[in-house]
Amino acid sequence: MGLKRRLHILKRRYRGTKMAPAFNAIHTFLFLPDETTHSGTHIKVADDLKRTMNTVIMAMIPCLIFGMFNAGYQHHLALGEIEAVTQGFFSAEFWTLDNFMVGFWKILPLVIVSYGVGLGIEFIFAIIKGHEVEEGYLVTGMLVPLIVPVDIPLWMLAVAVIFGVVIGKEVFGGTGMNILNPALTIRAFLFFAYPTWMSGDKVWVHGAVERDQLIASGQNLDAISGETILGSLAQGKAAGYEIADMFLGFIPGSVGETSTLLILLGGLFLIFTKIGSWRIMLSSALGAIVMGLIFNGVVDSGIISEGSKFYGLMSTTWWHHLLIGGFAFGTVFMATDPVTAAQTNKGKWVYGFLVGFISILIRVFNPAYPEGVMLAILLMNVFAPTIDHYVVQGNVKRRKKRLKVKTA
C-alpha cells in the first residue's frame, strides 16, 4: 500500500475529529486532494498558495547553499587554514567539500529547528481552532535560517520562532492576516532579546564565540573574529573587502544574505514567475540610492567633519549600500511579502521607496542598529494599510471628479 493510499485512509478515519487538520495538511502538501467539489462551477488555477510559497523557497535555495559554503569558508579563513578567494565567483578555495560540510552541519539544524517549531505551532493552532493548516510558515521557515548568524544557539531560535509565529501571526488570525512579516518579527525578537548573539564581531563566523570562551578559560589560542562590513563602517573603520567580494558574497554576515548576485538571481526568478513584485524591489533600490546620494552630497559639501561618528557610513559610496548588509535580501524576499506589503500598485511604489529610504537612514544614524533594513521593513509593514487607504481614496476622488465633469 502506497503512502498516498495510507494517507487517504488516515484522513477518512480522522475526518471530523480534532486531529483532522494535521492529516489534511500532510496529505495536501504531498499529493493532490482526493476530494471533488460538489456544487457550482469552480475555477482552478495551478499556482495555489502552496505553489506560490514553494516558488519563493526555490528562489532562496541558491542563497542557502551558498550560505553553507560561505559559513565553512569564513570559518576556515578566520582560522587561517585557507587563503582568501582570488578568482572570482568560481574560486576553487571557496567551493570545497570541506567548506560545505562545516556549513551544512551548522545550518541544517537551524533549518530543522525553524521548520519543526514553526510548523508545530501552526499545527497546534489549526487543531485548537479547528481550521485547516495554513501554509504560511513554508516561506518564513526558510527565511529564518537565512537571516540569523550561523552560530545562534538553537534554543534561542526556537523561542524566537514561537514568539514570532504566535505574536506576529496567530494572534492576528493566522496566515494572510498578519500585520508584520513573521520572519522579521522573529529576527527583531532575537535582536532585542539576545543582542550579544545578533551583533558584534564574533557571531558571524562559526567558531569565533566558542574560541572566545576557550581563551577566557585560559587556553592559549588566537582569537578569531569576522566583523561585518556594516559593523566596521559603523565604527569608522574601512570596510576591508573588495567590491567584487561584496557582490559575490565572500563576506561575513547572516547565513543567506551575503551574496547579492544570488539574491539578484532569486529576485529575477520571482519577477519572472510573477510571484514577487518588481515595483517594490525597484522602488526600494531607488529609495536607498536617493538616501545614499543625499548622504554622499552632505559629505561632499563638507557639512560633516571627518571626526563625526556618522562619517564612515555617510561617506560610503551610494551604490555600495545596495551590496552590503541585508539590504538586498530584505528587499527581494521580505519587503515583497504579499501579505504585509502595500497591495495597490501605486502604494507599492511608495512603500518600496520608503523601505529603501528608511533602511539607509537607520543604518547611518543609528550605529547600534547597523541593519536598518529589518526595522525599515517592519515599520513600513505597519504603514502599508495606511498607504493603501490613501491610494484607494485618491482613486475614488479622481473618479468622482471625472463623473462630475461628465454630468455637468
Partner 1 sequence: MGLLSKKDTKLILDPLADNNPITIQVLGICSALAITAELKASIVMAISVLFVLGVGNVVISLMRNIIPSKIRIIVQLVVVAALVIIVDQVLKAFAYELSKTLSVFVGLIITNCIIMGRFEAFALGNGPWRSFLDGVGNAAGYGVILIIVGFFRELLGSGTLLGFKVLGDPIEKTGIYAIGYENNGFMLLSPMALIVVGIIIWVQRSKNKALIEDH
Cα(173)–Cα(406) distance, rounded to whole angstroms? 44
> If binding is defined by CB under 8 A, does position 368 make contact with partner 1?
no
In 3D, which of 146, 165, 169, 141 has the Cα closest to residue 381? Answer: 169
Shortest distance in whole angstroms from residue 232 CB to partner 1 = 24
Shortest distance in whole angstroms from residue 163 CB to partner 1 = 9
> If binding is defined by CB under 8 A, does position 297 make contact with partner 1?
no
Cα(246)–Cα(261) distance, rounded to whole angstroms? 9
Q: How many other C-beta atoms lie within 10 A of the C-beta of residue 217?
A: 7
Buried b (16+ CB within 10 A) or exposed e, 103-141: bbebbeebbebbbebbbebbbebbbeeeeebbbbbbbbb
Among 30, 61, 108, 171, binds partner 1 (CB under 8 A): 171
> If binding is defined by CB under 8 A, does position 155 make contact with partner 1?
yes
Nearer to partner 1, 210 or 300 (CB): 210
> If binding is defined by CB under 8 A, does position 172 make contact with partner 1?
no
C-alpha cell at 380: 513600513
Cα(135)–Cα(122) distance, rounded to whole angstroms? 9
Nearer to partner 1, 188 or 239 (CB): 188
> If binding is defined by CB under 8 A, does position 125 make contact with partner 1?
no
Stretch near partner 1 under the rule CB under 8 A, chosen from 154-162, 172-180, 200-208, 286-294: 154-162
Shortest distance in whole angstroms from residue 188 CB to partner 1 = 9
Cα(100)–Cα(127) distance, rounded to whole angstroms? 39
- Counting residues that bind partner 1 (by CB under 8 A) gives 13
C-alpha distances out from residue 44 to 31, 36, 74, 396, 401, Å: 16, 12, 47, 32, 39
Nearer to partner 1, 328 or 378 (CB): 378
Nearer to partner 1, 41 or 196 (CB): 196
Among 29, 172, 192, 390, binds partner 1 (CB under 8 A): 192
Pair 49, 253: CB distance under 8 Å: no
> If binding is defined by CB under 8 A, does position 66 make contact with partner 1?
no
> If binding is defined by CB under 8 A, does position 153 make contact with partner 1?
yes
Shortest distance in whole angstroms from residue 68 CB to partner 1 = 24
Cα(168)–Cα(182) distance, rounded to whole angstroms? 5
> If binding is defined by CB under 8 A, does position 338 make contact with partner 1?
no
> If binding is defined by CB under 8 A, does position 162 make contact with partner 1?
no
Q: How many other C-beta atoms lie within 10 A of the C-beta of residue 255?
A: 26
- Interacting residues toward partner 1 by CB under 8 A: 153, 155-156, 159, 167, 171, 189, 192-197
